[in-house]
Structure 1
């Protein structure tokens, strides 16, 4: 029995048209942008430190990676945006987004909650002219978590009545009393002090008397001990505000509150599900939270009273968690002491390590890169 074999024929195959060099280049660019956008959104984002508010833990010119996975990645709220931009298109003042569409925002599961002591990147809450995900990025240390009672007593932070361990590289402002003019480049720069000035006047009553001359510096307690060893240094003492001095620029802005940066609180950090009675003092503490960050419509605050959608309320239950943030440069940081709490939906991620550090004012070309800071874990 013969086996018949059928052979099918097909038309001659058409040669595949080779991509032009320009098309291959364009495809590569598109792929790179899409991949970078996904990585930046979902896993890790690079940031740089532009201000000294976190010194000496983080320095101006540090480049760091921030993990989105630790606290969970946020879904995009503003989809109409040029990829890999933030508020403006690179090198211009042209807005990089349109706020015509605002999506509900959710957070994917993360490795952990925000912990007290974490160094956190977040969107600056008072910047109400931008959508939440496009507000300016700030970096500070978390001092208070939801429900914590935060207080600063004579420079020391207390949480729930217990003194919080200070960051190892924390800075304060000091007056360095000297017998003669100082070679600033040699003495201060060589000791890692980037912020210093000759004394003119200061806030508080601890420095100096009229017959003293010297310098105001921002530095750590350990470097202060080094400065005291110089023979031209008479004394070094911290600049601090007495408890009875009121600093009007602090949060909350209310005549009921008489605090300053060194003696602040106590104040309770709002917690999701917690209910407060709206006394005049609580209205001062939490009125802005209710008005700007809770998604309420038509909130009015007047004479210590709050109304929502035209109805007066005597109590309020918070809809999300909040955090209290402070810079490690305690006397040169615009933080929660000045503008209030950070809502959970403003949290971007956890700062994990420095991958590059460039000194903005190097003493030599060879010293421009701070080699000892490369791949340093952020503590």
Structure 2
């Protein structure tokens, strides 16, 4: 009888500990998904502002108060509820956002979170002349750590919008769509809006036939934009796969903004070479405010 009571007590103790651990993990998951989170920088598109191997704490509370969007470390999206945010993204902000997909994709192949600088808000006009960025005709302030690289990513082989004839350093002018804006559709500009409209309507609904434009089978030459959009560019402009190549970022894909770097090392070194990896820690970057 004594042994049975002892076993029951042991099982109850394990149950309570497991229950407590699962509850703690759930709370951490909800907080990290909804209020603050961590992000690793995998590419050099924001050098020298943010380096490959930087780990950043992300403020999600400012732009995106919501229930979790996905299960971490998986490609499983979750139905989520958004709540009113405290602020809106502005030109010059460094933004963490869910990649909306390449310019001809209805949905991205996998869930990814990217970091770029917001250079254009809804309704702004973007243009680049001789690698100088202009917003509404005014030269965009050069970020303090902007970097120009001679390297070019192999995936940067098609400018958005397709058939525009633009280049990464001679680009636009391009007007960023704004919620409620009624745009006129023509055979000349439909390539600019086709993917955007299909994403808003959640299906492959835009068609052209006999020099006419159809949306959901109905002939039309107008469309009312349903969301606000933003234009993102990396500080390492010559080696950044950004809005110049794949298009606009809808407001509901914006997650937050980096606060500071809490860890940094050379992520090119494999984890199997742990001591060399540990020796690459960049102590001067830990605690650095991201701006």
Asked if TM exceeds 0.5, the reply is yes
SS in structure 2 at match of 1:36? helix
Alignment of 1:77-226 (within 5 A): 83-87=71-75, 97=76, 103=79, 106-126=81-101, 135-174=111-150
User: Is 1:299 matched with 2:200?
Assistant: no
Cα distance change on mapping 1:343 and 1:25 into 2, 3 Å:
same
Residue in structure 2 matched with residue 199 of structure 1 by the alignment: none
Q: Distance in 1 between matches of 2:227 and 2:267?
A: 39
Q: Which residue of 2 aligns with 1:262?
A: 169
Is 2:265–2:277's contact at 8 Å kept on the other side of the alignment?
A: no
**Residues 1:354 and 2:278 aligned together:** no
- Gap change, CA 1:130 and 1:19, over 3 Å in 2: farther
Q: Partners of 2:225 and 2:15 in 1: how far apart? A: 53
TM-score for the superposition, normalised by structure 2: 0.84
Larger RCO (alpha carbons 8 Å, 6+ apart): 2
Tell me if the contact between 1:278 and 1:305 (Cα under 8 Å) persists in the aligned partners.
Answer: no
SS of the equivalent of 2:162 reads coil
Q: Is the CA contact 1:147–1:271 (under 8 Å) kept in the aligned structure 2?
A: yes
1:278-297 counterparts in 2 under 5 A?
Answer: 278-292=185-199, 294-297=200-203
Query: Alpha carbons of 1:65 and 1:282: their partners in 2 closer, same or farther (altered >3 Å)?
Result: same
Going from structure 1 to structure 2, the CA distance change for 1:129 and 1:258 (only over 3 Å counts) comes to: closer
Q: Relative to 1, partners in 2 of residues 1:378 and 1:323: Cα closer, same or farther, differing over 3 Å? A: same
In structure 2, the CA distance between the partners of 1:86 and 1:350, relative to structure 1 (3 Å rule), is farther
Deviation at 1:124, TM superposition (A): 1.2
In 2, Cα distance between equivalents of 1:46 and 1:29: 21
Residue of 151, 161, 167 corresponding to 1:252: 161
Contact kept in structure 2, 1:54 and 1:333, CA below 8 Å: yes
Once the two structures are superposed, what CA deviation does each residue of 1:318-364 show, in whole Å capped at 9, x if it has no partner?
Answer: 00101111111101011100001011121111122111111235896
5+ residue gaps, structure 2, are: 1-7, 270-274
Distance 1:76 1:310, change over 3 A: farther
Find the aligned partners of 1:41 and 1:366 in 2 and give their Cα distance.
28
**Higher Rg of the two aligned structures:** 1
Q: Does 1:66 align with 2:75?
A: no
Is 2:238 the counterpart of 1:319?
no
Determine if the alignment matches structure 1 residue 45 to structure 2 residue 21.
no
Contact 2:187 / 2:213 at 8 angstroms: preserved in 1?
Answer: no
Aligned residues: 275
Tell whether 2:278 aligns with 1:374: no
Alpha-carbon distance, 1:43 to partner: 0.7
1:193-220 C-alpha deviation (Å, 9 max, x unpaired):
xx7xxxxxx89xxxxxxxxxxxxxxxxx
Determine the C-alpha separation between the residues in 2 that align with 1:312 and 1:76: 39
TM-score by length of 1: 0.66
Alpha-carbon separation, structure 2, partners of 1:74 and 1:295:
22
- Say what the alpha-carbon RMSD is for the aligned residues: 2.9
Contact 1:54 1:327 in 2 (8 A): yes
Following TM superposition, by how much is the alpha carbon of 1:271 offset from its aligned partner in structure 2, in angstroms?
A: 0.4
